């Protein structure tokens, strides 16, 4: 029975990297511990937790001594490091002892000229696009990865949760790369459509870069076609929340828009009570995962989704199942897509396709099997 220590910044059970570590701890046989700079929620899936302090930026390098002490206390067989493309580089030298398996959740690119010209400073500032760690990893050359992730280092293998990222890592890494797509899987929970009083659902941070403002602007046209429709915005508070609330207050559709800022206990249950999910992201830079976990959670209950054609949405766009694709920043296209999804025959086809896509690709069971096999492979190589 192996002992695995998961190292992840700012642990919170509802967020992607932390959720992945939690699901692996629950599903992979063995003992699992957690080392994080800050526990933002409880972590009952782990038999031991180590909170080492410091900031999220460039963790764990900034708390190297404390992380090493946690490793010495827990004495794991494998260290599983969770983070962006820079995180495996921080495992070099004295930070972590081998063997290390690193899950890489994203390798962003710098904002394009189109994104910069179409965005306000407030919009950019309130997203990860302007953070130092994102800007640095966006310009990280492949040769730096090859040098850092050679066969002689502590990182013995990489896990990628998106096929595009897996291919990019394979070209830039000297260690094995495995694909383990993650997501909620499916069960008997299903959305039941209400075409008389449809609910349009959005869940995510209160950032205009995620397209919440585009969706708000789309609602007057949706109401002209479906007067009984409502928009349910489930927003995690951020500095832009007052701006979005003001946009709702000024909208002619304000009577049909609800803002929810309290934590949602089970997002899949919320999606099951909706009729259409809409995620009109403007940037790739607003998520560490592709596709965002909220999108696959919506699809897992058979909820048709409207998504924009940005990098982090490419897996669901390319799957061509359960989705209607719109251009970023186009409220008219969003309105038309919502109305199209509310046609009963189209809704039924999209719903069935969404469930099939998640069942085939985005489920924790598949990811756990890949991770478990990789732990054994790494330990066999270290023996």
Q: Could you tell me which CATH number the domain at 199-360 has?
A: 3.40.50.2000
Which residues of the chain are modeled with pLDDT < 50? none
pLDDT at 341: 97
Q: Which single residue is written with the structure tokens 């199209």?
A: 340
Q: pLDDT value at position 270? A: 96
DSSP 264: P
How far is residue 230 from each of residues 7, 187, 222, measured CA to CA in Å? 41, 27, 9
Q: What does pTM read for this prediction? A: 0.86
Give SS3 for 198.
Answer: coil
Same topology, domains 3-182+363-382 and 199-360? Answer is yes
Can you give the pLDDT at residue 87?
Answer: 78
Measure Cα distances from 123 to 120, 204, 333 in Å. 5, 15, 21
CA distances from 13 to 67, 132, 193, 313 (A): 21, 25, 29, 22
Name the DSSP letter for residue 185.
-
- The enclosing H or E element of 172 equals helix 163-172
Q: Model confidence over 33-52: pLDDT tens digits? A: 999 999 999 999 999 999 99
Residues contacting residue 325 through CB under 8 Å, at least 6 positions apart: 306, 307, 308, 309, 313, 317
User: Does domain 3-182+363-382 sit in CATH 3.65.10.10?
Assistant: no
Q: What is the pLDDT of residue 125?
A: 67
Residues written for the chain: 383
Q: What is the pLDDT of residue 43?
A: 95
Domain boundaries, the chain: 3-182+363-382, 199-360
Residue 305 β-bridge partners = 277, 323
Residue 140 confidence (pLDDT):
66
Burial per residue of 310-333, b for 16 or more beta-carbon CB atoms within 10 angstroms, e otherwise: bbbbbbbeebebbbbebebbbbeb
3-state secondary structure of 174: coil
Walk across the sheet containing 323-326 and list its strands: 257-260, 230-236, 199-205, 276-279, 305-308, 323-326
Q: Which of 290, 292, 300 is nearest to 268 (CA)?
A: 300
Return the pLDDT at 382. 63
């Amino acid at each position: 029975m192996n002992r695995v220590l998961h190292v992840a910044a700012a642990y919170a059970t509802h967020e992607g990297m932390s959720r992945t570590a939690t699901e692996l701890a629950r599903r992979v046989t063995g003992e699992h511990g957690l080392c994080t700079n800050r526990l933002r929620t409880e972590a009952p899936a782990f038999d031991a937790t180590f909170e080492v302090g410091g900031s999220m930026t460039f963790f764990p390098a900034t708390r190297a001594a404390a992380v090493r002490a946690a490793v010495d206390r827990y004495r794991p067989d494998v260290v599983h490091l969770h983070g962006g493309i820079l995180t495996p580089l921080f495992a070099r030298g004295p930070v972590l002892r081998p063997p290390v398996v690193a899950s890489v959740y994203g390798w962003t690119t710098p904002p394009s000229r189109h994104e910069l010209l179409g965005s306000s400073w407030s919009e950019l500032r309130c997203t990860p696009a302007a953070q130092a760690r994102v800007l640095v990893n966006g310009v990280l050359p492949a040769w730096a990865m090859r040098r850092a992730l050679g066969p002689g280092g502590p990182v013995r293998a990489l896990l990628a949760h998106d096929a595009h990222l897996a291919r990019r890592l394979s070209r830039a890494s000297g260690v094995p790369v495995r694909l383990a797509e993650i997501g909620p899987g499916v069960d008997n929970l299903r959305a039941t459509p209400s075409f008389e009083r449809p609910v349009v659902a959005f869940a995510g941070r209160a950032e205009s870069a995620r397209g919440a403002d585009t969706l708000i602007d789309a609602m007057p046209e949706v109401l002209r076609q479906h007067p009984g429709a409502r928009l349910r915005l489930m927003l995690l508070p951020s500095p832009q929340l007052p701006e979005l609330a003001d946009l709702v207050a000024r909208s002619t559709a304000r009577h049909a828009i609800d803002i929810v800022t309290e934590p949602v206990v089970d997002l899949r249950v919320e999606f099951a009570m909706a009729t259409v999910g809409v995620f009109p992201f403007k940037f790739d830079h607003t998520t560490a995962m592709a596709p965002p976990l909220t999108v696959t959670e919506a699809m897992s209950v058979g909820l048709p989704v409207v998504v924009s054609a940005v990098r982090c949405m490419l897996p669901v766009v390319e799957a061509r199942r359960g989705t209607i694709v719109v251009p970023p920043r186009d409220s008219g296209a969003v309105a038309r897509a919502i109305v199209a999804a509310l046609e009963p025959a189209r809704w039924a086809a999209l719903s069935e396709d969404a469930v099939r896509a998640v069942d085939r690709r985005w489920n924790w069971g598949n990811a756990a099997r890949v991770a478990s096999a990789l732990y054994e492979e790494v330990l066999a190589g270290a023996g």
